[in-house]
Amino acid sequence: MAEIYKMHGIKKILYEFKLQFVITIIFLLIWLAFYLLNPPAFSNPFTYTSIMGVVPFTIIPAISLTLVIIAGEIDLSFASVMALGPLVMALTWQAFGEPTPLGILLGLLAGLGAGLLNGILITKLGIPSLIATIGTLFLWRGVVLVVTEGFSIPLGEFRNTLIYSIFVGRVFGIPVQFFWAIVLAIIFWIILNRHKFGAYIYYIGDNRTAARMVGINVDRVLITVYAIHGMVAAFAGILDSLEMATFWPALGDIYMLKSIASVVIGGTPVTGGVGTIYGTFLGGMILGFIEMGVLASGVSGFWIRLVHGVVIIIALAAQGIIRKGELAKIRIMRLLTT
């Protein structure tokens, strides 16, 4: 047993990344199951491009949410920030009468501001993140509803512009937003694993007292994480409103639980300290495949939630079993290293 961390090559990788390995297996099994249920649909490229068109709206906010959860915190308000960002953009575009990049920039800044507010409430005022972000969840949704009076803002007239193609166009039939999701996943993977800032996020989630004692400015790191998350959520909302060519006041609502589910399916425990972007990405893909698969297999759409629920529970159960095995291993290893 003491030899575990003397393993090399594939064996070691499999051991170290067993959670990710399990998620990958679950993903492949789901894929296989849907393929067997409806081979024509799942051999048709259109099915995949459809999935790629919608999963980014779940995956993108889930990627930055992974950072928040690794730091041992939570955010619910991003669902409303996903509406705040595109609202600011839509209003700017309306005012200018053209799809100016300034609108995107202001939309992202609105998200950044919302994130900063969360960070300050949580660190400087010491409000637990669950409570603080319930507050801002209502606040920003309220702002959106008051400003729009519940009406949508059509964006169809801006459809055939460059800015559209950059964010939600199609390259070889593949929706550009999917590339955005991949690019963001890579950037955030690098931040988490290769940059000092990512290391601090892990340490803060793992042992906050220790992080403070070694001189890490915990408040500043947390505020930055929330600010980034706010901006990324606004970006996801902007992508969604562009894809649908309309801004609607309820935008983002449905992604809150889906994004959180992506993170937890992906093996990032809400207790913080550990977690991977890879897992989150795959978690989002699993949810997307289920949605498309259930629809393609011809049963009623009401089944989607049920299958989501079953898969989330299976994924969590698998993780629970792995972690239990880990605890036994820890006990033995500790004895062996005395």
Residue 18's CB: how many other CB atoms inside 10 A? 16
Q: How far apart are the first and last CA of the chain?
A: 14
Member of 45, 149, 209, 300 binding other proteins (CB under 8 A): 209
Segment lying near other proteins (by CB under 8 A), choices 102-110, 176-184, 254-262, 327-335: 327-335
* Contact flag: residue 335 with other proteins (CB under 8 A): yes
CB of 167 closer than 8 Å to CB of 177: yes
Which residue, 268, 271, 272, 307, is CA-closest to 286? 307
How far does CA 4 lie from the centroid of its chain? 32
* Contact flag: residue 25 with other proteins (CB under 8 A): no
Member of 35, 197, 245, 257 binding other proteins (CB under 8 A): 197
Segment lying near other proteins (by CB under 8 A), choices 93-101, 166-174, 204-212, 294-302: 204-212
According to DSSP, residue 150 is labeled T
Q: Say how far apart CA 145 and CA 151 lie, in whole Å.
A: 8
Tracing tokens 């309306």 back to the chain, one arrives at: 94
Tracing tokens 């594939």 back to the chain, one arrives at: 10
Of 178 and 278, which CB lies nearer to other proteins in the complex structure? 278
* Contact flag: residue 213 with other proteins (CB under 8 A): yes
Residue 127 beta carbon to other proteins: minimum distance, rounded to whole angstroms: 24
CB of 40 closer than 8 Å to CB of 33: no
Q: What is the CA radius of gyration of the chain?
A: 21
CB of 76 closer than 8 Å to CB of 256: yes
* Contact flag: residue 188 with other proteins (CB under 8 A): no
Residue 123 beta carbon to other proteins: minimum distance, rounded to whole angstroms: 17
Member of 196, 298, 301, 302 binding other proteins (CB under 8 A): 196
Member of 9, 46, 160, 214 binding other proteins (CB under 8 A): 214
268 — phi, psi (to 5°)? Answer: -95, 110
Tracing tokens 């909302």 back to the chain, one arrives at: 237
Q: Say how far apart CA 304 and CA 227 lie, in whole Å.
A: 32
Residue 323 beta carbon to other proteins: minimum distance, rounded to whole angstroms: 11
Residue 63 beta carbon to other proteins: minimum distance, rounded to whole angstroms: 19
Member of 144, 211, 231, 290 binding other proteins (CB under 8 A): 211
* Contact flag: residue 207 with other proteins (CB under 8 A): yes
Residue 190 beta carbon to other proteins: minimum distance, rounded to whole angstroms: 8
According to DSSP, residue 98 is labeled S
Q: Give the number of residues in contact with other proteins, rule: CB under 8 A.
A: 30
Residue 71's CB: how many other CB atoms inside 10 A? 26
* Contact flag: residue 337 with other proteins (CB under 8 A): yes
Member of 210, 310, 313, 321 binding other proteins (CB under 8 A): 210
Q: Say how far apart CA 285 and CA 265 lie, in whole Å.
A: 10
Segment lying near other proteins (by CB under 8 A), choices 116-124, 151-159, 181-189, 205-213: 205-213
Residue 198 beta carbon to other proteins: minimum distance, rounded to whole angstroms: 9
What amino acid occupies position 307?
Answer: V
Residue 218 beta carbon to other proteins: minimum distance, rounded to whole angstroms: 11
SS3 246: strand
CB of 141 closer than 8 Å to CB of 248: no
* Contact flag: residue 18 with other proteins (CB under 8 A): no
**Which x/- pattern over 260-299 shows residues binding other proteins (rule: CB under 8 A)?**
-------------xx-------------------------
Which residue, 236, 73, 119, 218, is CA-closest to 167? 236
Residue 186 beta carbon to other proteins: minimum distance, rounded to whole angstroms: 14
**Interface with other proteins (CB under 8 A):** 2, 4-6, 194-197, 199, 202-203, 206-207, 209-216, 273-274, 329-330, 333-335, 337-338
